[in-house]
Amino acid sequence: MSFMHDLIHGADNQFDHLSLNALQKATLRAVVVSFLFYGLAALEGMIMRAASINPSIPPVNGSVDHYFSIMTVHPIVGIFGSTYQLVFAAFLFLVPFLTKKPLYSIKVANATWILITIGTIMSWLASFVYNYAPLYTLYWPLPADTTQFKAIGGVMFIVGVALIMVGTLLFIYNIYATVFSKVGVHQNKTTKELLISGFGIDGMLNLFNKLTGKQPYSKEPALSLPVVAIFRGTVDTFLDALVILSAGVLVLVYLLADMGGVKLDVASIDALLYKNWFWWGLDLVADGLVLIYVAGSWYLLATLITGQKLFMENVARAALMLELLVSWMVWSHHLLADQGQPEMMKLISGEMVTAFELLTQGLALFITLVTLWKARPLKMTMELKYLLGGLIGFGLAVPAGIIQADMAMNRVLHNTQWIIGAHVHIAIIVGLYMTLYSAVYVLWPLVTNNAKLWSTKLANAHFWLHLIGGIGMGAFMGMAGLDGMLRRHLYFNGEYNLFMILSAICGTMLLVAWLLFLFNVIMSVGLKGLIGIFLPSKNKASSYGIEPANA
Amino acid sequence: MTFLNSLELLAFHNVAYTIYALLIIAIIAWFGYNLTRKEVAKPLVRIPFYVFIAFLVAAGVGHHIFTYNVVPWVAQDIMRESIKPDQVYKVVIEKHQFQLPSEKLVVECGQKILFDVTSKDLVYGFGLFRKNGTMVTQMQVNPGSKNTILWTFHDEGVFDLMSTEYSGPKGNGMFVPNIMEVRGCKTTLSQGGSK
Ligand SMILES: [Cu+2]
């Protein structure tokens, strides 16, 4: 087929948006928007990479206001606009797919991606138009500092974030309602049975009974392991949404009062207490969500790729429970440089419990690797390649984080490029995104009704550019951090130029990788198909692969 | 092994982590290669599951114990309330300005210095840097709480002061060059050399 034909109609005419049901469309819509936001985040990243080499390069033009407003929206666009959308889309499809039940509500699923999209754009505009730039950390009283920022910009930003959180709560509601609905295979289950399975308690009881020589508690758990991981991670998503919303309300009260001519005293809120509360919630996004969702996704991908049962499944179930509890108790590692923070809190929560993540994540890595190994020989498919890439990402990023979560190292690493490069960017770009790409390739035929991938060569180029670019960028930023380069600072005299140039080259590879991926997807589904995804679907079914009688 | 200053610690850490990074990439690559083959290459060592878990526990906990004992400033930092400093410097930060007790702080080698920093408005950072940009030490400075750090300087040199926490775009200019001078040491690692 010709190039123009594929561009308009998709590769070999194999993608037909009219054949998609409501669930497939809701999923694909969020996926498309997610990748557009990823591109925006990558562009912002490149602008910052360029500015860190030469601040007077446009569009920053040597303006710190501009630079930090980009830095403020970058994680909002990247984390919420892109990864949240992608993860939520995948899970809204997977929960019905895995439980063989219809999704609770397609309307709510659509509301989720629309709210997150509008919220992200609003926050982005607040920074773009008004240069509102308190960074995502919102350290009190900075977000309410109207001597530096216009109140209107702040209101817009916070309302945007609030919309994202409302969309998140709707996602959670949809997932819970689907998991606990007593239809299909769960027709005869009680809520108690589903809850016990959801929290992994059956896994623990099975282990306990095995050790004491009793019969297993349940041979067939009510919920499959990936569903348990999704359910468990969603508990953290719920808590973090509440914390971020509460912080947002606080900031809004101050900003609105200011606009109404009333000056509220910022000192009446304790800055350190606020930091603790905020990080407790924000950390659930990172240490809670990423680790639980990602572990769950690895298990799912390993079982789907090999077509076999997960190795040590009961241990995995129990470990997910452990990870949940650990994720609630580790936030203090963000306050190791705060001398007002009680030392005991730093020592126990910040150091010791945090170090436990090495164990839970190591366990997930081990279980995934052994599951793959037992199914040898495997074909090196795209999804397997990306899964291995994801494992490398977390293999690198988790220890990098643990090094930082150490009272001795933190003294010289806190707020340096080490944390944002070697830990955060490698965790997200290499660890999380490669895992998500693996899921995209696994789900591709299911969600698109077997659309043909336009080019495997492009897919491979994307893989290598993304992997090398991601690791390289994080590594060079990390090395600059070891040399004292701060993460939230614009340098004007080319202080760390060698590392910044190297990391910008790797950043460019990431951007090119994304362009190749986007191009490949557009050529696969065609422009007509791409638009069709956003048109209402004729088939209102909200499930996949189930006979209507069952649903 | 003991580290005299952060420069030595970071250099060691740089090498150690790079070796680890190359190792983990190599292991996954080796693993991926063998996944696709019928004939599997024999691994050099077979690591049983419990050894792996024990290793992770040891690595996680051991890292803290290791750094606690070999990095000189952790124990001192935790005990700072009960240690009598040789010098106390009170610093106030307000409206993105450092208000320092004097134009230059001169310290004799090996003295225990307590920095007592107060913020009147936003969250700032208090960070000391060598002339080559590498970091000596830092802490966060929260308004409304006590922010103190006790530090012993082991090498001679001149240091710059910078805010290490973002306090709005205005905070980017919070740089005070040559604020401190340490005299009388035998080592001058601060000038960027290494042992
Ligand atoms: Cu964290």
- How many angstroms away from the CA of A197 is the closest CA of chain B? 25
CB–CB of A511/A46 below 8 Å? yes
Percent residues over pLDDT 90 in chain A: 76
CB–CB of A85/A40 below 8 Å? no
CB–CB of B97/B157 below 8 Å? no
The strands making up B135-141's β-sheet, listed across from edge to edge, are: B105-108, B175-183, B157-162, B124-130, B135-141
pLDDT band at B134 (very low <50, low <70, confident <90, very high): very high
Q: Using alpha carbons, list the distances in angstroms from residue A351 to A245, A341, A347, A402, B21.
A: 28, 13, 5, 8, 22
Token representation of residue A121:
């754009």
- How many angstroms away from the CA of B74 is the closest CA of chain A? 6
- pLDDT computed for residue A24 by the predictor: 95
Quick check: A352 and B64 CB within 8 A?
yes
The pLDDT tens digits of the residues spanning A238-279 come to 999 999 999 999 999 999 999 999 999 999 999 999 999 999
Residues of B in contact with A391 (CB under 8 A): 28
> How far is it, in rounded angstroms, from Cα B23 to Cα A389?
14
Q: Supply the DSSP string of A507-529, one letter for each residue.
A: HHHHHHHHHHHHHHHHHHHHHHH
The strands making up B112-119's β-sheet, listed across from edge to edge, are: B97-99, B87-94, B112-119, B147-152
- pLDDT computed for residue A1 by the predictor: 58
Mean pLDDT, residues A222-245: 90
Residues of A in contact with B130 (CB under 8 A): 484
- How many angstroms away from the CA of A415 is the closest CA of chain B? 7
Comparing A153-167, A493-507, B33-47, which segment has the lowest mean pLDDT?
A: B33-47
Nearest to B142 by CA among A60, A83, A63, A276: A276
Mean pLDDT, residues A179-190: 83
- How many angstroms away from the CA of A434 is the closest CA of chain B? 14
Residues of B in contact with A483 (CB under 8 A): 10, 133-134
> How far is it, in rounded angstroms, from Cα B82 to Cα A349?
24
> How far is it, in rounded angstroms, from Cα A318 to Cα A254?
44
Identity at B38, one-letter amino acid code:
K
Which among B61, B129, B144 has CB closest to A271? B144
Mean pLDDT, residues A68-94: 95
Comparing A43-52, A121-130, B50-59, which segment has the lowest mean pLDDT?
A: B50-59
Q: With 80 as the cut, is the pLDDT of residue A545 above it?
A: no
Residues of B in contact with A484 (CB under 8 A): 129-130, 133-135
> How far is it, in rounded angstroms, from Cα A88 to Cα A297?
12
> Which residues of chain B from 92 to 151 reach within 8 Å of chain A, CB to CB?
121-123, 125, 127, 129-130, 133-140, 142-149
User: Could you tell me if A380 lies within 8 Å of chain B, comparing CB atoms?
Assistant: yes
Distance in Å, CA A72 to ligand 1 centroid: 18
Q: With 60 as the cut, is the pLDDT of residue A548 above it?
A: no
> How far is it, in rounded angstroms, from Cα B133 to Cα A93?
50
- pLDDT computed for residue B173 by the predictor: 95
Q: With 90 as the cut, is the pLDDT of residue B70 above it?
A: no
User: Could you tell me if B57 lies within 8 Å of chain A, comparing CB atoms?
Assistant: yes
- pLDDT computed for residue B126 by the predictor: 98
The ipTM, to two decimals, is 0.93
pLDDT band at A550 (very low <50, low <70, confident <90, very high): very low
Mean pLDDT, residues A424-452: 95
- pLDDT computed for residue A495 by the predictor: 94
Q: Pick from B116, B139, B142 the residue to mutate for testing the A interface (most A CBs within 10 Å).
A: B142
Mean pLDDT, residues A113-136: 96
The pLDDT tens digits of the residues spanning A319-338 come to 888 888 888 999 999 999 99
CB–CB of B163/B126 below 8 Å? yes
Return the residue matching tokens 């690591």.
B47
Average pLDDT along chain B: 89
User: Could you tell me if B60 lies within 8 Å of chain A, comparing CB atoms?
Assistant: yes
> Which residues of chain B from 153 to 172 reach within 8 Å of chain A, CB to CB?
162, 164-170, 172
- How many angstroms away from the CA of A378 is the closest CA of chain B? 5
Q: With 80 as the cut, is the pLDDT of residue A300 above it?
A: yes
Residues of A in contact with B169 (CB under 8 A): 64-65, 67-68, 131, 133, 148
Mean pLDDT, residues A69-88: 96
End-to-end CA separation in angstroms for chain B: 13
* A vs B: CB pairs below 8 A: 202
Comparing A131-140, A156-165, A195-204, A475-484, which segment has the lowest mean pLDDT?
A: A195-204
- pLDDT computed for residue B193 by the predictor: 41
> How far is it, in rounded angstroms, from Cα A332 to Cα A345?
7
Residues of B in contact with A140 (CB under 8 A): 123
Question: If you compute the radius of gyration of chain A from its CA atoms, what whole number of angstroms results?
Answer: 23
Residues of A in contact with B77 (CB under 8 A): 407, 411
Mean pLDDT, residues B98-113: 94
- How many angstroms away from the CA of B39 is the closest CA of chain A? 9
> How far is it, in rounded angstroms, from Cα A227 to Cα A438?
18
The pLDDT tens digits of the residues spanning B24-35 come to 999 999 999 999
- pLDDT computed for residue B189 by the predictor: 57
β-pairing verdict for B97-99 and B87-94: antiparallel
| Counts of helices then strands in chain B (DSSP H, E) | 3, 9
Token representation of residue A540:
């209102």
Residues of A in contact with B60 (CB under 8 A): 355-356, 358-359, 402
Residues 6+ away with beta carbon under 8 Å from B180: B104, B105, B106, B107, B128, B158, B159, B161
> How far is it, in rounded angstroms, from Cα A317 to Cα A323?
10
> How far is it, in rounded angstroms, from Cα A217 to Cα A203?
8
The pLDDT tens digits of the residues spanning B87-100 come to 999 999 999 999 99
Quick check: B17 and A407 CB within 8 A?
no
Distance in Å, CA B46 to ligand 1 centroid: 33
- pLDDT computed for residue B195 by the predictor: 35
Mean pLDDT, residues B153-167: 94
pLDDT band at B18 (very low <50, low <70, confident <90, very high): very high
Return the residue matching tokens 């906990």.
B61
Token representation of residue A6:
């594929």
User: Could you tell me if B21 lies within 8 Å of chain A, comparing CB atoms?
Assistant: yes
Residues of A in contact with B146 (CB under 8 A): 339-340
**Could you tell me the pTM of the whole model?**
0.94
Percent residues over pLDDT 70 in chain A: 99
Distance in Å, CA A332 to ligand 1 centroid: 8
Mean pLDDT, residues A52-56: 96
Quick check: A484 and B74 CB within 8 A?
no
- How many angstroms away from the CA of A192 is the closest CA of chain B? 33
β-pairing verdict for B105-108 and B97-99: unpaired
> How far is it, in rounded angstroms, from Cα A512 to Cα A327?
35
Nearest to A97 by CA among A532, A527, A445: A445
Q: Using alpha carbons, list the distances in angstroms from residue A340 to A262, A479, B147.
A: 31, 29, 6
> How far is it, in rounded angstroms, from Cα A391 to Cα A375?
18
Q: With 70 as the cut, is the pLDDT of residue B191 above it?
A: no
Comparing A4-18, A402-416, B79-93, which segment has the lowest mean pLDDT?
A: A4-18
CB–CB of B182/B109 below 8 Å? yes
Q: With 60 as the cut, is the pLDDT of residue A551 above it?
A: no
Q: How far is CA A246 from the centre of its chain?
A: 21
Residues 6+ away with beta carbon under 8 Å from A75: A136
Return the residue matching tokens 């012993």.
B152
**Residue of chain A minimizing CA distance to B119:** A271
**Residue of chain A minimizing CA distance to B56:** A359
User: Could you tell me if B76 lies within 8 Å of chain A, comparing CB atoms?
Assistant: no
- pLDDT computed for residue A77 by the predictor: 97
**3-state DSSP of A348-406:** HHHHHHHHHHHHHHHHHHHHHHHHHHHCCCCCCCHHHHHHHHHHHHHHHHHHHHHHHCC
Nearest to A77 by CA among A49, A36, A30: A36
